[in-house]
Amino acid sequence: MNKTIAIIGDNFMQAATFKQALEAKLDNTFDYRLMDLPFPDEPIIQSSDNPEYVGLAEYQGEIDAVIDIAKDAHILVTHVAPISARVFTELNLLEMVVVSRGGPVNVDVAAAKANNIKLVNTPGRNASAVAEFTVGALISETRNISRGHHALMNGRWRGDLYRADVQRDELSTMTIGIVGYAGIGKQVIHLLSAFGSKILVTDPYSELSQEDIDHGVRKVSMDELLKQSDVVSLHARLTNETKQMIDKTALAKMKPGAIFINTARGALVDYEALYNSLTSNHLSGAVLETFPEEPLPADSKWLTLPNVTLTPHIAGASKTTVIVAAKMAANEVDRHFKNLPPVNSCF
């Protein structure tokens, strides 16, 4: 009897792409059960008060549907489906869950461990995509690309963007502060090295590589980074410790006229305090890719600010991300059936 692999994909991480990667990697024949959720055409749910979903974040779909598609499965591969405690208790054949994202926020991790189910994820799958996006967004903001485009699309020629009191310095003259020295932060540093920027890093849990030290990257305290940086780019993981780490006090320490970039998570920032810093012109601009509430409401006050570049949480979306994640997932399943330890265990 063949073992069964259930795959719950979506319109970004498609189930068929996972299946293709699995078939290319696995030696044996498996039965597959596939389903795609409507993400990202429909937004994910940030959190819910429903007791069955408490503790799960950034998910889409119904638990009953997960159980139905995976009822005979030995392996469950997903991206954003909700994997609650009931999933682990009702799926008696389940051996392993693969979550194709940097953190298994849509999974009850404690329940997986209690039921002796392997749980793995795909950290770093979109690090290159987010790093490229961050640098592109930084250039767009500092060189007024998005403002010039928006004005032209609305029939206005912004010749004033050439004014000396509007222009900003080039990246080669800027000090850029990177908050979080993990996969994305490291790749942002690598890309920025081509521009000759001065790079500062703060991260209490990581040490700089010798290569970055040799290229002049300096590790400093958060206070020093905020005070010295012309641009602060946020790349920290969301934990209880980092929630709203960029608050009113932190923003006040930033250089007048500095730029703030968030391509990480909305909950890392006190957005009300950030709004005040931008409207008071303490900060000259911001690039915001993530928000406390997503999707951003149509009447959001953020849409009225002239000194921000806003994008709808798309930094990690690239074809390369999909291919990398699918291959990482397939590798973990292959290792499981070969009785090898997982590469990226979640506990």
Q: Which domains does the chain have, with CATH numbers?
A: 4-125+318-337 (3.40.50.720), 127-310 (3.40.50.720)
pLDDT of 276 reads 98
pLDDT of 166 reads 87
Other Cβ atoms less than 10 A from the Cβ of 175: the count is 17
Give the residue from 45, 42, 41, 97 showing the smallest Cα distance to 67: 97
**Confidence label for 138 from pLDDT (cuts 50, 70 and 90):** very high
**Confidence label for 28 from pLDDT (cuts 50, 70 and 90):** confident
Handedness of CA 258, 131, 196, 148 (dihedral sign): negative
pLDDT of 49 reads 92
Alpha-helical regions (H) of 70-221: 85-90, 109-114, 127-142, 145-153, 183-192, 210-214
pLDDT in tens, 240-281: 999 999 999 999 999 999 999 999 999 999 999 999 999 999
**Confidence label for 8 from pLDDT (cuts 50, 70 and 90):** very high
Q: Is the pTM of this model over 0.95?
A: no
If you search the block for the tokens 């389940």, which residue do you land on?
94
Give the residue from 68, 252, 102, 106 showing the smallest Cα distance to 180: 102
pLDDT beyond 80 at 1: no
Alpha-helical regions (H) of the chain: 15-25, 63-69, 85-90, 109-114, 127-142, 145-153, 183-192, 210-214, 222-228, 248-253, 271-279, 319-337
Bridge partners (DSSP) listed for residue 75 = 5, 96
pLDDT of 293 reads 87
Active-site residue list: 265, 294, 313
